[in-house]
């Protein structure tokens, strides 16, 4: 029996991978003439879709309007949430490290949501 665990064993290339790499190395410089087929296919592809320039501003405006709308539509809930937050913050001792962690996590979450919402394509 081997004293080495499976995680300690170095990964070994599969024989098929090694054979394919060797064959590819032999023919790396060869050119396969296709009679212009590749150029015709690439020329026939549609242009990439580009979103309108106002898209980012519109998405941010919609999110802002939705946030304000929710806050205005649920005034009692907003006050209750603020009151509970103050009760927890005042009644529970919080260290500076916990506050920093919370701020970092909120920043990561909001930036991730913004990047996802504003991504191209």
Residue spans per domain, the chain: 6-44, 55-118
- Give backbone dihedrals phi and psi of 83, rounded to 5 degrees, phi first: -65, -45
CA distances from 80 to 3, 37, 77, 106 (A): 62, 67, 5, 21
At a CB cut-off of 8 Å and minimum separation 6, what does 120 contact? Answer: 51
Q: How confident is the model at residue 3 (pLDDT cuts 50, 70, 90)?
A: low
What's the maximum distance between 2 C-alpha atoms anywhere in the chain?
A: 78
Q: For residue range 61-92, list pLDDT tens digits in order.
A: 999 999 888 888 887 887 888 888 888 878 87
DSSP symbol at 45: S
Give alpha helix (H) positions in the chain: 15-26, 37-44, 55-73, 75-91, 96-118
Distances (CA, A) of 49 to 38, 40, 46, 52, 68: 22, 20, 9, 10, 32
Residue 108, pLDDT above cutoff 90: yes
């Amino acid at each position: 029996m081997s004293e080495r665990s499976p995680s300690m064993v170095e990964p070994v290339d599969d024989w098929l991978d090694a054979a394919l790499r060797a064959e590819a190395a032999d023919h790396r410089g060869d050119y396969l003439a296709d009679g212009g087929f590749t150029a015709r296919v690439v020329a026939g592809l549609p242009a990439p879709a580009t979103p309108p320039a106002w898209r980012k501003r519109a998405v941010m405006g919609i999110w802002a309007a939705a946030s304000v709308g929710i806050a205005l539509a649920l005034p009692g809930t907003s006050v209750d949430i603020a009151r509970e937050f103050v009760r927890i913050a005042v009644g529970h001792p919080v260290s500076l490290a916990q506050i920093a962690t919370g701020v970092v996590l909120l920043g990561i979450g909001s930036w991730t949501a913004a990047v996802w919402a504003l991504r191209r394509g």
